């Protein structure tokens, strides 16, 4: 775990691009509140296959223009063409965007789109971005302490992660997890393979058990039995779910930071409250 200690700590937040004007207003209000944690950047997800292209661009433009904080678009390569990817990279570059989160992406099942685009995996996307734009972008990639659900085995997943790093990634953000030991072991394994970059834990605040269980099943995150059982036991009592979730996730963040994690990346789900509550407890947010 010591391999991560030498990097400066970076805190950041992730949004998804809303589909309505009202959703966009809520996102901007959340972004305003989240300024209290002095994030290094706000990222905005991208619907694989380009389904949110316009809305991602719109949200990124507004964040870049109005917050004084870097905006980092996510970009996926599944079902994309090189020409389309080149076009969006040039656009972001012209807008003064310097950070990008490069991903393969997952197509929704039944979407009818081609499974692969011209670039098959995230390492190929990172290579493409470097070939097209040199060192212009700080490139973030995804990491999976509990392993990617489609990986044939853990060693191959680690080696595939290494390919992204060797292709030119500057730092990584993990899938969210609730087992800190999975993260500690993952970064130790990366050090063994001479994978040398900051690996920032992705943090999902707990506010809604049904939604969390669905997401976790899809992305391969384990909700430990003791957490799942407690959350199930609260039934529809949302206040208790939030209070318990706040305790659990704050403890997780504290442990990660104490043991050398180089920051935290919050999956905000476009809500400021749960992330700020954690940051306040950790002493990471200025007073309102
Ligand atoms: P890759 O690194 O390409 O890996 C995908 C799988 O292929 C893994 O099992 C890996 O082991 C294997 N693999 C990798 N390279 C090779 C290779 N060269 N040969 C053979 N096998 C290989 N999804 C979105 O649609 N939009 C988003 O905005 C988005 N943001 C995300 C942000 C973060 C921080 C994270 C952690 C995930 C995000 N995702 C997003 C989800 C992500 O797209 C999925 O998890 C996807 O299945 C994998 O993307 P990846 O970039 O990690 O893929």
* The pLDDT value given to residue 113: 53
Check if 176 has its Cβ closer than 6 Å to any atom of ligand 1. Answer: no
Q: For this structure, is 14 an active site residue?
A: yes
CA of 164 to the centre of ligand 1 (A): 10
**Integer Cα distance of 132 and 55 in angstroms:** 24
CA of 274 to the centre of ligand 1 (A): 26
Point out the ligand 1 atom lying closest to the alpha carbon of residue 141: 51
* The pLDDT value given to residue 115: 64
Range 241-249 average pLDDT = 98
**Integer Cα distance of 263 and 257 in angstroms:** 7
Q: Between helices 238-258 and 225-233, what is the axis angle to 10°? A: 160
* The pLDDT value given to residue 286: 86
Check if 104 has its Cβ closer than 6 Å to any atom of ligand 1. Answer: yes
User: pLDDT tens digit string along 184-235?
Assistant: 999 999 999 999 999 999 999 999 999 999 999 999 999 999 999 999 999 9
> Do residues 275 and 266 lie in contact, with contact meaning Cβ atoms separated by under 8 Å?
yes
User: pLDDT tens digit string along 130-179?
Assistant: 999 999 999 999 999 999 999 999 999 999 999 999 999 999 999 999 99
Among all chains, which residue has been given the structure tokens 């990491």? Answer: 143
Please report, for the chain, the start and end positions of each structural domain, with discontinuous segments joined by +: 2-282
| Assigned architecture for domain 2-282 | Alpha-Beta Barrel (3.20)
Q: How confident is the model at residue 110 (pLDDT cuts 50, 70, 90)?
A: low
């Amino acid at each position: 775990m010591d391999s991560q200690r030498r990097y400066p700590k970076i805190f950041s937040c992730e949004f998804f691009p809303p589909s309505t004007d009202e959703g966009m207003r809520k996102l901007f209000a959340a972004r305003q509140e989240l300024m209290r944690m002095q994030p290094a950047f706000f990222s905005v997800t991208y619907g694989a296959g380009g389904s949110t292209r316009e809305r991602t661009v719109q949200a990124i433009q507004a964040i870049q223009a109005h917050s004084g904080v870097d905006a980092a678009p996510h970009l996926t390569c599944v079902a994309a063409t090189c020409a389309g990817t080149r076009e969006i990279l040039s656009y972001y570059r012209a807008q003064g965007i310097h950070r990008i989160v490069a991903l393969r992406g997952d197509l929704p099942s039944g979407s009818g789109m081609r499974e692969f685009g011209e670039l098959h995996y995230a390492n190929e996307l990172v290579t493409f971005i470097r070939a097209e734009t040199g060192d212009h972008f700080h490139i973030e990639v995804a990491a999976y302490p509990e392993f990617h659900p489609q990986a044939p085995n853990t060693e191959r997943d680690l080696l595939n992660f290494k390919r992204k790093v060797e292709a030119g990634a500057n730092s990584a953000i993990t899938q969210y997890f609730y087992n800190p030991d999975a993260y500690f072991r993952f970064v130790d394994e990366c050090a063994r393979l001479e994978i040398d970059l900051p690996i920032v834990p992705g943090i999902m605040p707990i506010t809604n058990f049904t939604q969390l269980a669905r997401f976790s099943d899809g992305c391969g995150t384990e909700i430990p039995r003791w957490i799942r059982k407690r959350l199930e036991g609260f039934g529809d009592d949302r206040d208790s779910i939030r209070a318990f979730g706040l305790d659990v996730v704050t403890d997780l963040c504290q442990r990660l930071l104490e043991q050398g994690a180089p920051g935290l990346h919050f999956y905000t789900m476009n809500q400021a409250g749960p992330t700020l509550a954690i940051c306040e407890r950790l002493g990471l947010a200025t007073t309102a």
